[in-house]
Amino acid sequence: MRIARNLIPLTVLMTMGLGIACKKPAPAPETKQEEAPAPAPAPTPQAAPTPAPAPEPLKADEAAMMRQAADAALKDINFDLDKSDIREVDKPKLQAIADFMRSYPRAKVQIAGNCDERGTVEYNLALGERRAHAAQAYLVSLGTDGAKLPTISYGKERPKVQGHDEESWLINRNCEFTLQ
Amino acid sequence: MKRWILGLLLGMSSVLWAQAPNQEVVLSATAGSKVGIALARPQIAGIDEAVINREFRDVIQRDLEEAGPFAVLKNNLPAGSEPSSYPAWISAGTDWLLICGITKTPSADVEVVLQVMDVKPGKPVFNKKYTGKEGALRRIAHTISDDLVARLTGDRGIANSRIVFVRQLSPGVKEIFQIDRDGANLSQLTDYKSLTLSPSVSEDGRLAFMTYKGGAPEIWGQMKPGGPNVKLYPRPGSPEGHCFAPAWSPDGKRLALVQGDRKGNSDIVILDVESGRVRRLTDSNCINTEPCWNPAGTQLAFTSDREGSPQVYLMEDDGSNMRRLTQEGSYNASPAWSPNGSMIAYVSRFEGKFDLFVYKLSEGKSYQITTGIASSESPTWSPDEHRLVFSSGSRGGMQLYTTDLSGNTLRRLTEFAGCQSPKWLKIH
């Protein structure tokens, strides 16, 4: 396949388009604020394993302890561009999540896979799913029950930060772990 | 590239003559060059001239420019529209002169009486009267443009067509919107206050899209034109896994979509919407996404990383005869099959930004359509195949544009950022 690259009038015009885009008010300065938690899927009425007695609701202080432990343990992991491999640097974070899951066997944690803006909408939805599953598979390899780790992908639709540089893109290529 | 575009126009004209041998040839210009067209200052009764200029003159000029076969004359036009003025019009480059009377009738309707003169032979080529409610001037202008394209080429124009797209309203909230092809009449089609993405519109006007409104992604859409949006997928018994990227088949009975598996792979499946039957077309340890039909509904183009990087592939609608289309570049995606089936538009990434390309199947060759600082994404074709609509911008400020394949008539449709995934509707 040869590519004829000789068609340029758009260059100028697209640059004009850029100029217009740039006149927009700058995005709010780097608010690295917490994203709103993912909309929780309607709790699926799990067919409880047959003989198990209905689990008692967590006591208030237990729930608070679990939330506190989750805050400490559930940290984002990040990915290289176009990749879904778990990076060495993130393995201790996943170990901490596995330890948390072992300490709190009733915890359910959603893994949300995300991408930076430099891909197509629907390729990134698939890539985010693959990242979420890579994290899930690694946690399962550490002994966590995969059924307690539902996955979802938001592709490039919910960037954590609004910047458009290498640092922001790395932050936005992530898995987020949310206690449900 | 220029030569190729010209060839396309010539080819189209000869097909037209072959199909309609009895049609009177009205062209005084030679086939292949553009017909000079100008609007004489309209005679107005009961309507403000500023309104006429904004809602009629500017609209029809833009429509005719984007239509392709016309060269629109806008500046330093002669006064008058009587036969005595024709020499002045001719020397300004005019072939067709549009002479309009625009009146507000006692019942507050708008009436446009149009006469088109081919000024070189001094012969009328088209006459028609248009009426509409007040505020219909824009639509009348579009209809006139479409009529003139039909008069010239035999194929109706697309000035009256619309585009559906996704617009971000706030972080994490995206909804489906609709806009006229020239950027007028913006309206909101969904209001889920959630992430709603990837619209597809069937040829009879039914919407399908993916939404997170219930938490997990689902495919929603219309079973009947104008009907309510209902959940189309997953259904009871559907395999576990994510689903997204719906694409209506040309006959509107099937939806191609992406179905995930337990390992995080993504496959193309086809849902028979009426029966709920699902057929899996791809099955591999990789990403298969962005399904798009050929106009006959017998093949699909899609994006896959099966050989390591995202590339565009083709296959039959049963998953057989899979072959790779794009060969150069490390990230080719977002295929869109042209309405007559001979071209596939797609995007190619270089240094983190996308440009539009068009692959001509008969030549086995790609042509670059955009180049520049901005990233241009998600191309889809106009129903007449002359233009592409796409999103473009940088630093997240994506807006909607249309362009012809030469890039000579690039137009921005929107005046707000946060636009993505435009789809050009086939119906008016």
Please indicate if any CB of chain B lies within 8 Å of the CB of A8.
yes
Let me know if residue A70 belongs to a domain: yes
pLDDT of residue B239: 85
pLDDT tens for each residue of A45-101: 444 445 555 666 777 788 899 999 999 999 999 999 999 999 999 999 999 999 999
Helix (H, G, I), strand (E, B) or coil at B58: helix
pTM of the model: 0.84
The answer to whether B285 touches B308, Cβ cutoff 8 Å, is no
pLDDT in tens, chain B (428 residues): 332 332 233 223 322 222 222 233 333 333 458 999 999 999 999 999 999 999 999 999 999 999 989 999 999 999 999 999 999 999 999 999 999 999 998 887 999 999 999 999 999 999 999 999 878 999 999 999 999 999 999 988 999 999 999 999 999 999 999 999 999 999 999 999 999 999 999 999 999 999 999 999 999 999 999 999 999 999 988 888 899 999 999 999 999 999 999 999 999 999 999 999 999 999 989 999 999 999 999 999 999 999 999 999 999 999 999 999 999 999 999 999 999 999 999 999 998 899 999 999 999 999 999 987 799 999 999 999 999 999 999 877 899 999 999 888 899 999 999 999 999 998 65
Contacts (Cβ under 8 Å, ≥6 apart) of B393: A17, A18, A21, B374, B375, B399, B417
Let me know if residue A159 belongs to a domain: yes
Let me know if residue A131 belongs to a domain: yes
Instruction: Give the CATH number for residue A83.
Output: 3.30.1330.60
Topology adopted by domain B162-424: Neuraminidase (2.120.10)
Q: How far apart are CA B253 and CA B5, in angstroms?
A: 35
DSSP-assigned states of every residue in A31-74: --PPPPPPPPPPPP-----TTPPPPPPPPHHHHHHHHHHHHHH-
Let me know if residue A24 belongs to a domain: no
Q: How far apart are CA B4 and CA B330, in angstroms?
A: 26
Residue B305 CA to its chain's centroid (Å): 28
Contacts (Cβ under 8 Å, ≥6 apart) of B278: B238, B239, B259, B269, B270, B271, B272
Domain ranges of chain B: 31-153, 162-424
Shortest alpha-carbon distance between residue B393 and chain A (Å): 6
Q: Do B260 and A126 touch (CB under 8 A)?
A: yes
Q: Do A120 and B352 touch (CB under 8 A)?
A: no
Let me know if residue A9 belongs to a domain: no
Please indicate if any CB of chain A lies within 8 Å of the CB of B311.
no
Q: Do B333 and A123 touch (CB under 8 A)?
A: yes
A23: pLDDT strictly greater than 70: no
| Enclosing domain of residue A139 | 60-180
Q: Between these two residues, A15 and B245, which has the higher pLDDT value?
A: B245
**A153 → chain B, closest CA residue:** B242
Q: Do A130 and B407 touch (CB under 8 A)?
A: no
- CA distances B271 to A74, B197, B212, B277, B297, Å, are 38, 19, 20, 6, 13
Let me know if residue A124 belongs to a domain: yes
pLDDT tens for each residue of A119-138: 999 999 999 999 999 999 99
- CA distances B411 to A48, B63, B106, B309, B387, Å, are 58, 11, 37, 32, 10
Let me know if residue A123 belongs to a domain: yes
According to CATH, the superfamily of the domain at B31-153 is TolB, N-terminal domain (3.40.50.10070)
Which amino acid is it at A55?
P
Q: Residue for token digits 């994006």?
A: B303
Which amino acid is it at B95?
D
Please indicate if any CB of chain A lies within 8 Å of the CB of B174.
yes
Helix (H, G, I), strand (E, B) or coil at B17: helix
Nearest to B395 among A10, A21, A137 (CB): A21
Let me know if residue A137 belongs to a domain: yes
A 25-84: CB under 8 A from B: 27, 35-36, 38-42, 82, 84
Number of domains within chain A:
1
pLDDT of residue B141: 97
